[in-house]
Amino acid sequence: MANNKLEAYLEEISHYLSGRAEREEILNEIRSHILEKAASATGGSPSDEAIAQAIAALGPARRLAERYAEDRPIIAPAYKRYLFRYTTLLFAIHTVLIVLAVIFKESFIIFPILFVPQLSPFDAVLYLPMAFLADLGLVALVLYFITQSGKDIVLPWPKFGLDLDEVKPPRRRFWSIFGTAVGTTIMLAITSFCLHLLARYDTIFLYLTRTKEPRPIFTAEAGHYLSILIIILFAVSTLALAIKLFTESRWVDIVSNAITLAIIGLVLRQPFDNLFAINIPDGLLSWLKPTILIVLLIIAVATAYNLIRDIVRVSRHHLQK
């Protein structure tokens, strides 16, 4: 009976020490101590009660096993902050790729760390938590190996204002609010003007003929579709600027940038062939196509960069709490 209790206790400790080369040696040490103490208490052969008392004195198996593992943390304290830093950064990139996978109906592979399959919007919502867990696991694994290597490795962290220590809260200045108010007014005027053009001509992309008669640049369907996208983009910017008059929350920028990125994606999906309603020389067309593509991609990259930076900042701010 006593032996069963002792073996069960050692078995539990063994479970918590799994993977340690000196496990058997530790278990023998503990067994020896318990039997020695119990025998000393009874003055001869150790009794059940004495063994139970000796086990109780050593404390719960998990606690005792942890004492042996104290000198070898899974992730060194110095690297613990990187667990959330890197996870947040990786997850932000992952999120942007998921958004792009939904828009372009493509899968993305950055072997071996990221894989985003072709997703519907609904699938993407279900995929996000899995992506987060995968990112967390990957970062934890890397930090585990770095810790176990025992080397003093200085981990990099981008210096572009992602550190909370370095981020100073923006001060509300009169000119900042004034600038936002002017921007909101201008954007509101542009959006209203575009809506007016759309209502009147069914497109916002027009050119004036010699007779001062506006003519559409794009074909009717493409012109209407692109006009709506651009108006949504302007409306979102106007709304974001208006909200910024009352709050400094980074969520405004996150939502605004996410919508902008999605709209750029939709614009990029528009087929370029047979887009124009006007005659454009072939030479000019072959030059125009890559130029527009490059400009849109530069805007997309800049927006994605801002989106990732804001997600990291907000996440770190919440984790700091």
Partner 1 sequence: MVKQTPDVGTLETEMNRGFLHILVLSLLENEMYGYSMVKHIESLGYQVEENTLYPLLRRLEKNGWITSRWDLSTDRPRKFYSITPAGRAIRASLLDIWKAQNAILDRVTKMTKITGENSNGQ
Residues that bind partner 1 in the complex, under the rule CB under 8 A: 22, 26, 28-30, 32-33, 35-37, 39-40, 57-59, 63-64, 67-68, 70-71
Least distance to partner 1 from the beta carbon of 63, Å?
A: 7
Helix (H/G/I), strand (E/B), else coil: 116:
strand
Question: Which CB, 57 or 177, lies closer to partner 1?
Answer: 57
Helix (H/G/I), strand (E/B), else coil: 109:
strand
DSSP string across 174-233 = HHHHHHHHHHHHHHHHHHHHHHHHHHHHS-S-EEE-TTS-EEESB-HHHHHHHHHHHHHH
Q: Which helix (H) or strand (E) holds 45?
A: none
* 107 residue type, one letter: S
Least distance to partner 1 from the beta carbon of 51, Å?
A: 13
Question: Which CB, 40 or 107, lies closer to partner 1?
Answer: 40
Question: Which CB, 68 or 201, lies closer to partner 1?
Answer: 68
Show the tokens assigned to 203.
Answer: 């497109």
Helix (H/G/I), strand (E/B), else coil: 20:
coil
Question: Which CB, 70 or 282, lies closer to partner 1?
Answer: 70
Least distance to partner 1 from the beta carbon of 149, Å?
A: 18
Virtual torsion, Cα 5, 7, 10, 11, nearest 10 deg: -110
Helix (H/G/I), strand (E/B), else coil: 317:
helix
Show the tokens assigned to 118.
Answer: 């072709």
Least distance to partner 1 from the beta carbon of 62, Å?
A: 11
Question: Which CB, 61 or 262, lies closer to partner 1?
Answer: 61
| Residue 21: other Cβ atoms inside 10 A | 7
Least distance to partner 1 from the beta carbon of 72, Å?
A: 10
Question: Which CB, 34 or 222, lies closer to partner 1?
Answer: 34
Least Cα distance to 269 among 124, 104, 120 occurs for 104
- Cα-Cα end-to-end distance for the chain: 51
Least distance to partner 1 from the beta carbon of 43, Å?
A: 14
Question: Which CB, 59 or 117, lies closer to partner 1?
Answer: 59
Least distance to partner 1 from the beta carbon of 319, Å?
A: 11
Least Cα distance to 253 among 212, 196, 303, 290 occurs for 303
